[in-house]
């Protein structure tokens, strides 16, 4: 489970990271993680040399079963490991060419990284409008914030009709849209989404998928962490499979969607046809990518 990205620690206004990054031209790589190792409580090694890359303007899917280390990787990227007694012990994270390894969470947001956490962590007691405005906490440019707000209203017409409503009363899908809209209020260069389809009905999952594509079409790079491999790989330019803290497979999204192992492991389809969910779960317990 993730903790909300927020101004949890004081960061000096106009710190070097944000100023430099704002001035920098975009690189070909929106996010680069190189040989990352993460340890919890000084002893539990969870990420064992993970390298992934999100090309600028692309969608990258990160797949993996429960406990593979997906959330840990997101925590490491977003500067939220220390809240969980975790530490990067090796490797690096670069955002649009800038080293953000071990940088503070709020500085990473200002450098251009937006995050939608698992479980749609909206502020249930605030209105839709108030939730969206909290997403602009790192910004001071009123005109720019207003433009971002209008963009969110256009992307999510359903939120426009409910802007004064208490967010806690929205449906699951609407809350997911609100969480994405809030992250976009910071105008991130790259958006990290942690299991956005979790617990949503198939039709709503399709809506969320279409929104992710739209956001990407508007110029935001995307790192999509999902257990719903069909959804993720149907829109991903590139995909990675994480297992036991290691990348065990990677390749173009369409190729992975056709990959025999992935079809068996994540989509429940082997040579013998569709397996039952129970079979797949048993199979998942038996099979390891590394084996």
For ligand ATP, the binding residues (CB under 6 A) are 40-41, 44, 46, 64, 66-72, 84-86
Closer residue to ligand ATP (CB): 31 or 186: 31
Please state the closest distance from residue 195 (CB atom) to ligand ATP, in A. 7
The CA angle 66-70-74, to the nearest 5 degrees, is: 145
Closer residue to ligand ATP (CB): 175 or 228: 228
H runs (alpha helix) in 156-290: 157-160, 172-184, 202-217, 229-235, 253-258, 260-265, 277-286
Using alpha carbons, select from 33, 188, 60 the residue that is nearest to residue 114.
188
Q: Is the dihedral of CA 47, 44, 105, 63 positive or negative?
A: positive
Q: Alpha carbon 266 to chain centroid distance? A: 19
Distance between start and end Cα atoms, the chain:
28
Buried b (16+ CB within 10 A) or exposed e, 95-104: bbbbebbebb
* Contact (Cβ atoms closer than 8 angstroms) between residue 282 and residue 273: no
Please state the closest distance from residue 64 (CB atom) to ligand ATP, in A. 5
Closer residue to ligand ATP (CB): 44 or 146: 44
* DSSP codes joined into one string, 67-109: TSSHHHHHHHHHT-SGGGTEEEEEEEEEETTEE-TT--HHHHH
C-alpha span between 238 and 11 (Å, rounded): 34
Give Cβ neighbours of residue 50 (< 8 Å, ≥ 6 apart).
Answer: 33, 35, 36, 37, 69, 73, 91, 242, 245, 246, 247
Closer residue to ligand ATP (CB): 77 or 132: 77
Closer residue to ligand ATP (CB): 84 or 246: 84
Closer residue to ligand ATP (CB): 82 or 237: 82
Closer residue to ligand ATP (CB): 145 or 192: 192
Please state the closest distance from residue 247 (CB atom) to ligand ATP, in A. 13
């Amino acid at each position: 489970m993730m903790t909300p990205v927020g101004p949890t620690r004081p960061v000096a206004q106009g710190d070097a990271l944000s100023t430099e990054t704002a001035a920098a031209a975009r690189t070909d790589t929106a996010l680069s993680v190189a040989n990352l190792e993460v340890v919890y409580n000084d002893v539990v090694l969870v990420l064992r040399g993970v390298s992934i890359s999100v090309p600028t303007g692309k969608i990258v899917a990160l797949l993996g079963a429960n406990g593979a280390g997906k959330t840990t990787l997101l925590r490491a990227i977003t500067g939220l490991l220390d809240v969980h007694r975790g530490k990067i012990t090796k490797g690096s994270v670069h955002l649009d060419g800038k080293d953000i390894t071990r940088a503070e969470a709020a500085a990473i947001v200002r450098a251009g990284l937006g995050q939608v956490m698992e479980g749609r962590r909206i502020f249930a007691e605030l209105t839709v409008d108030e939730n969206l405005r909290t997403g602009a906490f790192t910004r001071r440019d009123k005109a720019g914030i207003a433009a971002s707000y209008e963009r969110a209203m256009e992307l999510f017409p359903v939120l426009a009709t409910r802007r004064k409503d208490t967010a806690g009363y929205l449906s699951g899908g609407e809350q997911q849209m609100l969480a994405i809209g809030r992250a976009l209020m910071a105008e991130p260069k790259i958006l990290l989404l942690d299991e956005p389809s979790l617990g949503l009905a198939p039709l709503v999952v399709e809506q969320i998928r279409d929104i992710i594509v739209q956001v990407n079409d508007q110029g935001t790079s995307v790192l999509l962490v999902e257990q719903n491999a069909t959804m993720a790989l149907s829109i991903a330019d590139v995909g990675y499979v994480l297992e036991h803290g290691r990348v065990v497979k990677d390749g173009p999204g369409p190729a992975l969607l056709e990959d025999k192992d992935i079809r068996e492991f994540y989509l429940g389809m082997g040579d013998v046809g569709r397996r039952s969910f129970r079979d797949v779960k048993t199979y998942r317990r038996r099979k390891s990518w590394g084996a």
